[in-house]
Every structure is written in structure tokens, then in C-alpha cells.
Structure 1
Amino acid sequence: MTTSRTSRPLPSPLKALAARTRRTDTPAAWHRATLDLCHGLSAELAAGRPPHEALARALPYVRFPTEAAAHMLLAATQDGGDVPAALRTAAPLHGGEGLRRLAGCWEVSITAGAALSGLLDRVEATLRASEAHRQDVAAQLAGPRATARLLAALPLLGLLLAVALGMNPLGFLLGHPAGLACLTLGAALDACGLWWTHRLVTRAETACPS
């Protein structure tokens, strides 16, 4: 059973730094960091250490996508800081579901007296199942990605084939108004195709349950 400690407000500079940097982080990196955090925290709790001390000992072994997240959580472990608030503040919009679940487990452990280690095991199992599903989806989407790149390169291959046959496609494309129009339209359509394929693949990846 854990006991409640006095909450301390999170440092404002760390909040601002986390808000600026979290946009560049990938959800997969956050999921891996959360898994490492849950595993390390469970090991420290199993060794008999209190939650705040266990978290402080586990943090140095976790590679968060941003240093602000690690500093924020480490600051929350000092002098009975508000760990759930720090976890929620550090969690990004995409990829931070595990940290928010961990925050909820921490609050339940404080308010209801539930064993934090047991709650952590459930969170870790859910995250591992989600990560396995995400990797499976990524493997299945590798084919469409490669096909899209191949189709985007076909016009260039066509130009090379025309040159090999003794034609002068570049002279028409670069030296004639109609050729310039065709080149511009073709490049625009090629870019739109790549963007649309990337958008579809990204949506399929982000649709994975967390």
C-alpha cells in the first residue's frame, strides 16, 4: 500500500519545453520508452522500494524522445512531487497513451491503496500487445510503400529508356512550352500520388489501438 504525499507544482520552464518539443517525436519512440519505464519501475518496486524512489531509479535507464520528459518526471520524484501530473504533462498527444495510463495507475494506487506493481503489470502487458500489433501493421504496409516509390520512379525510367532508344525527351520537355507544361503536370501528379499514399499509410498506422 502506498501513501499520499504533498503535491508540488511542475516547473513552468519544463512544461514549455515539453510543449515545444513533443511535436517532433514519433509515437513508436514514446511507446518503447513507456515500456522500458514500466519494466524498470516494476523491477524497482519488486525490490521493495517505495514508488517515488523506484521511479527515480528507473528513469536513468529509459531513453525518452525528449530530455524534457525525463527531467520533468525526475523533478516530480523529489520531495513528494505530483507524479501523475508530471506523467500527463510529459505525455504527447500521439504515443503518450501509456504514460497517461501509468498516471491513472499511480492515482489509483494512492487513493485506493491498490498495489502499484500489479497495475503496472497490466499496463505493460497491454502496451506490449499494442506494440506487437503496430509492428505487424508496419510490416504489412511495407509492400504498399515500396510499390508507391516504384510507381513514382517509373516516369524517370521512361525517360532513360527513351534516351537509350536514341530519342531526345529532355529537349521536348525543357525546350518547348507544351513540354514544360507536361513536365510540370507530371511532376505535380507524381508528388500528389506520393503524398496521398503516405497519408493513407500514416492513417493506417495511427489507427492502431494503443
Structure 2
Amino acid sequence: MTNALIAALSTAFAIWLWTGPDPATTRLSKLTSTQQKPQWHSLSRRLTRPNPTRRADAWRQASVELCQALSAELSAGRTPGEALTRAIAAVDFPDPESLRPILAAARDGGDVSAALIAATPPQGGEGLRQLAACWEVSITVGAGLAALVERVATTLRTAQAHRQDVAAQLAGPRTTAKMLAILPALGLLMAAALNMHPLSFLFGSLPGLACLIAGITLDACGLLWTNRMATQAQS
């Protein structure tokens, strides 16, 4: 009875890990807001910090929205600095604090291109780098910034749509890998229900302990391998 209870709890924990909610990017206030965040909000943001892949996707999506907003502001007749300031304030970025130097450069007539490059994250910063190149070309040769930004926005939207299509195609293999990962726990539950005492074997003998370590290792390697292949396919 005890073995069956332990096996049931292990299975429930494995299913919870599989089906539990993924960390989501916390919605942040606008960059122009100076209101002090409560302490519990900072703790919540740290606890819900997305993994590198999700963070890179958030930066790419924010870059697309920034280029679209900037193109609209420029088309409305605003100056580049004012248009960039308004566009940044209208977009929710994963790390808005890192964009404050860009706002300062845009307001004070500084080197916006250099500020964009400095704020570019290691992953997911392709859009900001392309925007910095557009800004530099516009200043150097006098090209129309609105047209350049619109082309960058179109390119980023196309790339984002491709990544989403690949992610949708990889959803099935990822789900299958997670399901296979919890099958050993289900096997323990079935063995305990048949009064075969699997936990006594696994934890009470050297061969059982070796089987347990080997099984956990292979299970973890399978999940890591599947995740690595999926990540490479999306990059």
C-alpha cells in the first residue's frame, strides 16, 4: 500500500511537471513611467522569468512592434527622435530598463544607432541591430528612414511567421517526448498496483539502484536531446 501511494505521488508530480504552466513574460509598465514597483512585483517577475528561448522570442516580437510603431509615427510626420521615443513607449519590452539610453539619445540628439546596438540582447536582437543600421544609413546618406524601417518591419514579420510555423510543427514531437518521459513513472504505478514492490527493488538493492540511475539518466538525456534538436530547428 505504501509503495502504491509513493508511486502514485511520483506519477502525479511527473504529470504536473509535464502539464504545468510555462513561465510567461510579466507585463511591464511603460518606459516613461517613474512609479516605484512594489517589492512583491519584483519577486513575481523573477519567479516568472522566461527561459532564454522565450526571452529571445519576446525580444523579436517587441522589435517587430517597435518597427511598425516607428514607421507609423514617421509616416505621421514626426521627427525621427520624437517618433522613436513614442514608438518605444508604446511597446512592452522584456527589459525596458535597457532601452532608457536609447530614449535619452533620441531626445537629446545623441548617437541613436550606437545606443540601439548597446541595448541589443545577445539573443533575439536581430531587429534592433537592423534598426540601428537603418538609422545609420539614414543619417549618413540621407535615405528616407520611414521606407527603411518599413522594409525591416516586413522582413521581421516574415521571419517571425516562419519561426511560428516551425514551432507549430515541432509541438507534436515535443509533446511525444514529454509523454515518453513520464512512462517510467506510470510503469512504477502499474507495478505497485500489481503488488510487485518496484520501489523496494530500485532503492533496496545495488542492481535496482543501478537501473534507477541509468533510467533517470537516459530519460533526462532524451529530453535534452529532443529539446536541443527543436531549438536548433527554430534558430
Q: How far apart, in 1, do the equivalents of 2:108 and 2:216 lie?
A: 60
**Hey, what does 1:84 align to over in structure 2?**
113
Q: What is the CA distance between 1:172 and its match in structure 2? A: 0.8
TM-score, normalised by the number of residues in structure 2: 0.75
Matched-pair identity in %? 59
**Hey, what does 1:157 align to over in structure 2?**
186
2:220 pairs with one of 159, 167, 191: 191
Q: How far apart, in 1, do the equivalents of 2:110 and 2:69 lie?
A: 19
1:144 aligns with 2:165: no
Q: How far apart, in 2, do the equivalents of 1:79 and 1:194 lie?
A: 50
**Hey, what does 1:100 align to over in structure 2?**
129
1:181 aligns with 2:197: no
TM-score, normalised by the number of residues in structure 1: 0.84
1:166 aligns with 2:195: yes
**Hey, what does 2:32 align to over in structure 1?**
none
1:46 aligns with 2:75: yes
**Hey, what does 1:30 align to over in structure 2?**
59
Aligned length: 185
**Hey, what does 2:164 align to over in structure 1?**
135
Q: What is the CA distance between 1:106 and its match in structure 2? A: 0.8
Q: What is the CA distance between 1:93 and its match in structure 2? A: 2.4
**Hey, what does 1:19 align to over in structure 2?**
none
Q: How far apart, in 2, do the equivalents of 1:57 and 1:27 lie?
A: 23
Q: How far apart, in 2, do the equivalents of 1:42 and 1:29 lie?
A: 20
Q: What is the CA distance between 1:137 and its match in structure 2? A: 0.4
2:97 pairs with one of 48, 68, 72: 68
Q: How far apart, in 1, do the equivalents of 2:72 and 2:197 lie?
A: 68
1:113 pairs with one of 125, 131, 142: 142
Q: How far apart, in 1, do the equivalents of 2:64 and 2:217 lie?
A: 42
Q: What is the CA distance between 1:101 and its match in structure 2? A: 0.7
Q: How far apart, in 2, do the equivalents of 1:78 and 1:122 lie?
A: 24
One-letter code of the match for 1:185? A
SS class of match (1:26): helix
Q: What is the CA distance between 1:56 and its match in structure 2? A: 1.1
Q: How far apart, in 1, do the equivalents of 2:98 and 2:166 lie?
A: 28
Q: How far apart, in 1, do the equivalents of 2:93 and 2:204 lie?
A: 53
Q: How far apart, in 2, do the equivalents of 1:171 and 1:164 lie?
A: 14
